[in-house]
Chains A and B, each alone.
Chain A
Amino acid sequence: MLVLTDIHKTYRMGETDVLALRGVSLDLPPGQFSVIMGHSGSGKSTLMHLAGCLDVPTSGSVAYGGRNLTTLSSRERADFRSSEVGFVFQKYNLVGNLSALDNVALPMLLRGTSTTQAHEQAHAALDQVGLSGRTGHRPSKLSGGEQQRVAIARALVNDPSMVLADEPTGNLDTATGDLILALLRRLPQEDKMVLVVTHNPEIAETADLLVCLRDGRIESAQSQDAQQTHASQKVAR
């Protein structure tokens, strides 16, 4: 369970303080597909970065499995990301000079796994996302959809307990986006917690929990049941 309690995050931009998050509290249980929506600048990505230990809050606490992540050292946060978190980004964020296989193996190589074992697992992960025939290609030789699938394979290769995706279908056409969404959607069945930040309402419709952010605050948080009731009410009217 990821528990965010009264999170505040302030960025300093020149002489101005920008309040990205203002007292956000949220519980995200394992095996749940959660979606965060909101306008640009509402604090979606900041929330995802805090959840994945890429950043620390200005105040408040982030806890995972009862462990307070806000007090971790830089090294401990890196280890936490390595073992518990898989990131998927809108711009794929693959290392350009590495092949698809090496990109996927990268988290394992950084953990000290032998190259042979890392490549074996990377092969398996790429096979899972349907890219077993493209392992030797560099990112520049792959389509957007293929690159995002490589990114998903990389996010999954260390078998993390949470997958955080920031606009994973933002740069993809509808068909490819659906394919990526299907890949992400099946992860909760493996008891992984999935948190997707998106503008896409179609993804929101599939969420177990939909959180809407506005100006750094939670505007609404609805479970799937509540969403369905809300949708039924709209149809009845």
Chain B
Amino acid sequence: MSTNLLRLALKNIASRRTRSWLTILGVLVGVTAVVALLSIGTGVQEAVLQQFEDIGYDIILIAPFNTAGGRMAGAMGGTPSGGIAASGMAGRLGATGPTASGASSTGGTFSPQNLTGGNDDPSPSGSGTQTFDSQRSLGTGLDAELLLTQVPQLVEAGTLGTQIHPVDAGTTSGFLRVSTPSLEFLEAFPSVLGGFQMAEGTTFTSTTENQVVVGARTADLLEIHTGDTVDISGEVFTVVGILEARESSDEAAESEESNPLTGQGLTRSLGTSQTTNLITRGLGNTDDALFVLYERAAEVLSGREAMSVTITRVEQGASISETMDAINVAIGQQDATGTPISIQEVADEIQGTLGLIETVLASIAAVALVVGGVGLMNTMYTAVLERTREIGILKSVGARDRQVMTLFLIDSGLMGFLGGILGLVLGSVLSFFGTRLLGPSLGVGSFSPVISIGLVLGVLAFSFVLGAFSGAWPAWRASRLNPVDALAAE
């Protein structure tokens, strides 16, 4: 019997094409919005968390600032703005001279975007010098080896220094970030530097020769390859390797276009810019840096220390919070400064914030869905009024009240369901393009929308229930009509 009613409902929908499609459109818009926002939101969440997973949840960073402080992320020079500005720098170098205008405008940070030119003598001048000097005290002062003995839960520890140096590659020059990992650090924590995978050449082969490994974008900017030499603060280094690109230049460009003011992306907008930028953009951004072994840097680039981060790995099974407490005690004992940051805690914090954003966005989208439902209810109510006589006919030929109600419920439920299917398809398409557009501006590179089976089934079930629920009252009203009165309706 229900099959017959389904067939009758389908014929009814088909016979009122225009109105049916307009009603379906209302549901479609709502479902599209919900699907697009949820799938993009989940995709962003997974992409961001993947970055932390890549680094490792057993890592604790010790940063040279208090969590309320605010100087380090910029000093690391690894934010998208640093990288993108460096892109812009290529075109501006070598034209007007080595002025470093406005370098201090970001509160003691250095950004190559502030450069307007470069030549054979790219030494800093003016406010740039002041900025450089201000960075010299930005280190934890921690002894990593001593820390290992103080905190038994730690299995590895190492320090990564970061300096800003004038770099001259012959054709182009400018101030660039130079990271100084030790050999031990590279062996213990390659994930912190995005895996430190070579696209060209090899990693460091000697601690006694001036060797440099160059980030992908920096290599493009400086137009250098393995075997070339670059001048770093007057010292000649040989390029032994070029790292694999972590973010495509297109993505970087899109990132710049879509968020030109800050370039900090999602992590900053989440209000956790300092910590998360350090992790996802500062350390993880190897594209915009040069790498010199700590052992060589200490020898030939001494006195240029801008800041340093101590990185530790917690023993498997050890409590993160207890380890962090122990690290705090150790920092005090060493009379050093620094704040331990657990990758796990930061990831949890971001996950929570992203989940909240996702919920808010989905709630907003749900409003569109409710509006679609109200439209459906309006259509069904009008249909009951229009089809009053038909209801009388159905009852005169033996239709029960429940059958009349079911017929109208199927009618509205089917329209909701169709809206759900079409909304799902359109939402998926939109989310696919949405991720392409949003990825770079959110600071997570390219990522894919997550359209889970749960989302698909949930949306289809919800849209059918929404349709049926919207049609419930009109359907109930239809079923209660007196057949004689219904037949008398014009």
Q: Which residues of A contact B (CB under 8 A)?
A: 49, 52, 54-55, 74-75, 78-79, 81-83, 87, 89, 93-98, 102, 106-107, 109-113, 115, 118, 154, 158
Q: Is B396 touching A95 in the complex (CB atoms < 8 A)?
A: no
Q: Per-position contact with A for B356-398: 1 when CB-CB < 8 Å, else 0?
A: 0000000000000000000000000000000001101111111
How close is B339's CB to chain A, nearest CB, in angstroms?
72
Interface hub of B3, B394, B402, B483 (most chain A Cβ within 10 A): B483
How far is A108 from B389 in the complex, measured between Cα atoms in Å?
A: 20
Q: Is A82 touching B398 in the complex (CB atoms < 8 A)?
A: yes
Q: Which chain B residues lie closer than 8 Å to A158 at the CB level?
A: 398
Chain A minimum-CB-distance residue to B395: A78
Residue among B4, B483, B487 making CB contact with A115, cutoff 8 Å = B4
B8: Cβ under 8 A from any A Cβ: yes
B136: Cβ under 8 A from any A Cβ: no
Q: Which chain B residues lie closer than 8 Å to A115 at the CB level?
A: 3-4, 7
How far is A55 from B482 in the complex, measured between Cα atoms in Å?
A: 8
Residue among B1, B389, B395, B402 making CB contact with A54, cutoff 8 Å = B395
Residue among A55, A93, A110 making CB contact with B398, cutoff 8 Å = A110
Residue among A75, A106, A109, A110 making CB contact with B401, cutoff 8 Å = A75
28 A-B interface contacts by CB (under 8 A)? A54-B395, A54-B484, A54-B487, A74-B401, A78-B395, A78-B398, A78-B399, A79-B398, A81-B397, A82-B397, A87-B396, A89-B396, A93-B389, A93-B396, A93-B487, A96-B15, A98-B8, A98-B11, A106-B397, A107-B397, A109-B4, A109-B8, A110-B1, A110-B4, A110-B399, A113-B4, A115-B7, A118-B4
Q: Is A89 touching B487 in the complex (CB atoms < 8 A)?
A: yes
How far is A49 from B396 in the complex, measured between Cα atoms in Å?
A: 10
Q: Is A75 touching B4 in the complex (CB atoms < 8 A)?
A: no
If A49-B484, A75-B401, A109-B8 touch, does A54 touch B394 (CB 8 Å cutoff)? Answer: no
How close is A96's CB to chain B, nearest CB, in angstroms?
8
Q: Is B7 touching A81 in the complex (CB atoms < 8 A)?
A: no
Chain A minimum-CB-distance residue to B389: A93
How close is B173's CB to chain A, nearest CB, in angstroms?
79
Q: Which chain B residues lie closer than 8 Å to A106 at the CB level?
A: 394, 397
Residue among B4, B8, B11, B396 making CB contact with A112, cutoff 8 Å = B4
Q: Is B400 touching A79 in the complex (CB atoms < 8 A)?
A: yes
Q: Which chain B residues lie closer than 8 Å to A154 at the CB level?
A: 397
How far is A49 from B15 in the complex, measured between Cα atoms in Å?
A: 30
How close is A49's CB to chain B, nearest CB, in angstroms?
5
Interface hub of B390, B393, B394, B398 (most chain A Cβ within 10 A): B398
A75-B401, A93-B396, A95-B393 known; 10 new pairs, CB 8 Å cut-off, are A54-B483, A75-B402, A78-B395, A78-B401, A81-B395, A81-B397, A82-B399, A98-B11, A109-B8, A115-B3
Interface hub of A89, A95, A110, A154 (most chain B Cβ within 10 A): A110
Chain B minimum-CB-distance residue to A158: B398
B403: Cβ under 8 A from any A Cβ: yes
Chain B minimum-CB-distance residue to A81: B398
Q: Which chain A residues lie closer than 8 Å to B7 at the CB level?
A: 109, 115
Q: Is B400 touching A75 in the complex (CB atoms < 8 A)?
A: yes
Q: Which residues of B contact A (CB under 8 A)?
A: 1, 3-4, 7-8, 11-12, 15-16, 389-390, 392-403, 482-484, 487
Q: Which chain B residues lie closer than 8 Å to A102 at the CB level?
A: 11
How close is B389's CB to chain A, nearest CB, in angstroms?
7
Chain B minimum-CB-distance residue to A93: B393
How close is B179's CB to chain A, nearest CB, in angstroms?
74
How close is B108's CB to chain A, nearest CB, in angstroms?
76
How far is A111 from B400 in the complex, measured between Cα atoms in Å?
A: 10
Q: Which chain A residues lie closer than 8 Å to B392 at the CB level?
A: 93
Q: Which chain B residues lie closer than 8 Å to A112 at the CB level?
A: 1, 4
How close is B359's CB to chain A, nearest CB, in angstroms?
43
How far is A52 from B12 in the complex, measured between Cα atoms in Å?
A: 27
Q: Is B11 touching A110 in the complex (CB atoms < 8 A)?
A: no
Q: Which chain A residues lie closer than 8 Å to B400 at the CB level?
A: 74-75, 78-79, 110
Q: Which chain B residues lie closer than 8 Å to A118 at the CB level?
A: 4
How far is A96 from B400 in the complex, measured between Cα atoms in Å?
A: 20
Q: Which chain A residues lie closer than 8 Å to B389 at the CB level?
A: 93
How far is A190 from B30 in the complex, measured between Cα atoms in Å?
A: 58
How far is A158 from B396 in the complex, measured between Cα atoms in Å?
A: 13
How close is A167's CB to chain B, nearest CB, in angstroms?
13
How close is A57's CB to chain B, nearest CB, in angstroms?
12
Residue among B1, B390, B396 making CB contact with A81, cutoff 8 Å = B396
Chain A minimum-CB-distance residue to B393: A93
Chain A minimum-CB-distance residue to B400: A78
How far is A111 from B252 in the complex, measured between Cα atoms in Å?
A: 67
Q: Is B11 touching A97 in the complex (CB atoms < 8 A)?
A: yes
If A110-B4, A110-B397 touch, does A97 touch B15 (CB 8 Å cutoff)? Answer: yes
Interface hub of A55, A89, A97, A115 (most chain B Cβ within 10 A): A97
Chain B minimum-CB-distance residue to A84: B398
How far is A117 from B291 in the complex, measured between Cα atoms in Å?
A: 83
Interface hub of B8, B12, B401 (most chain A Cβ within 10 A): B8
How close is A113's CB to chain B, nearest CB, in angstroms?
8
Chain A minimum-CB-distance residue to B2: A112
Q: Is A110 touching B484 in the complex (CB atoms < 8 A)?
A: no
Q: Which chain A residues lie closer than 8 Å to B11 at the CB level?
A: 97-98, 102
How close is A56's CB to chain B, nearest CB, in angstroms?
10
Interface hub of A79, A83, A107, A118 (most chain B Cβ within 10 A): A107
Chain A minimum-CB-distance residue to B12: A97
How close is A7's CB to chain B, nearest CB, in angstroms?
15
Chain A minimum-CB-distance residue to B399: A110
How close is A165's CB to chain B, nearest CB, in angstroms?
12
Q: Which chain B residues lie closer than 8 Å to A94 at the CB level?
A: 393
Q: Is A55 touching B397 in the complex (CB atoms < 8 A)?
A: no
